[in-house]
Chain A
Amino acid sequence: MLVLQATILIFVAITATAVVFTRQPVRQVVGLSFYGIILGLLFFILQAPDVALSQITIGAVALPLMFMLSLAKIRRDAEERKRREESEHRREAA
């Protein structure tokens, strides 16, 4: 049991470090989701089923979802900006 806990704890630390050092947001979100699941697992093993349940629903699903949505929003924003600039260019040229 203790060995299992220790393994998962170390795994949590490694995953967290990996998430921090991933500089590419989309990949990082995937990592965060994975991290959420591992944390949930740790909570199960530490006899906290309530917390594990909410960690998995929030940490592994809701949070990454929010990140994805805002990344999508930002991408769309960038596209729109580009399009606006292009049309301005065209107007200037004309």
Chain B
Amino acid sequence: MNRRVRRWFFLICACAIFGLFVSAVRQMPTFGHYRGPYGDILNRETVYERHITDVVTAVNFDWRGIDTLGEESILFLSVIGTLVLLRKPSSEVNDSHDENDTADKRKGREIPLPSAATRVATLGLVGPLVVFGLYIVAHGHLTPGGGFQGGVILATAPLLVYLAGDLKSFKRIANHETVQIGEALGLLGFLILGLPGMIRGGAYLRNVLPLGTSGHVFSGGMIAPINVCTGVAVSAGLVAVTYVFLEHTLETRLRGRR
């Protein structure tokens, strides 16, 4: 199809889908009048059953915990996939290094360090950011937030190090090996935490820890440890992905600096 035909063909089909969709949603409960039983039951039961005050976290890690295991595996596989896809082609592994080196030097491509003020400011942010991320991870079952969100925040810390120009530390923190170990460990932890419930005769991912008092940090049984595992896996996964994309630049810059 040429582009014009394709566009008009698509627009006609899109109109049809739109019409179909609108005629369908007219039969849905009106906006703002949720009536299904599932959510309401969970809202009512979670605090009694699980001593957790954030129901969304409870749904993610307890009621529908297996979904989250699947989702973490998606993250894991996609990180592995990115590593595989962006690996250096075998033809580029050996040659072209020297050439690049000289070329870089000749063109004066060394990137200047950020100014001292920027460095101090960015590096100074790392500490609070890590604390904030850890807080979000650890309080997932009490207040909004949890493994995912905290994990993502934690993952931005190494990037700040990168932005501050401290490339060697960044490379140390974020290189494939360490990060991948972190991710795999987090996921294995999640997977293993589900097993005791099964061994005790219940079912996979069944809670076996004491539930504690709701509202306290040590409450909700298995949710907190699973949350921590998720946090580790998510932050490691995101660091890994950004590192893969940055790797080449990083190497050139490190070489330029020498």
Contacts and interface: CB of A to CB of B under 8 A. Distances in A.
The answer to whether any beta carbons of A and B sit under 8 Å apart in the complex is yes
Interface of A: 2, 48-54, 57-58, 61-62, 65-66, 69-70, 72-73, 76, 80, 83, 87
14 contacts: A50-B57, A50-B146, A51-B56, A53-B149, A54-B148, A57-B149, A57-B152, A62-B152, A62-B155, A62-B238, A65-B159, A69-B245, A76-B248, A83-B103
Contacts of A76: 248-249
Interface string B105-140: 000000000000000000000000000000010000
Contacts of A70: 245
Query: What 8 A-B pairs are tightest by C-beta distance, nearest first?
Result: A49-B144, A69-B245, A57-B152, A50-B56, A50-B144, A53-B149, A54-B149, A54-B148
A66 B156 contact: no
A72 B145 contact: no
Contacts of B229: none
B153 A57 contact: yes
Contacts, number: 47
Contact of A50 (B149, B156, B245): B149
Interface of B: 32, 54, 56-57, 99-100, 103, 136, 144-146, 148-149, 152-153, 155-156, 159, 238, 241-242, 245-246, 248-249
A73 B245 contact: yes
A73 B144 CA distance: 36
Interface of B is mostly: helix
Contacts of B153: 57
Interface of A is mostly: helix
Given A62-B152, A62-B238, A66-B242, A53 B249 contact: no
Contacts of A52: 144
A53 B238 contact: no
A73 B248 contact: yes
A70 B145 CA distance: 29
Contacts of B144: 49-50, 52-53
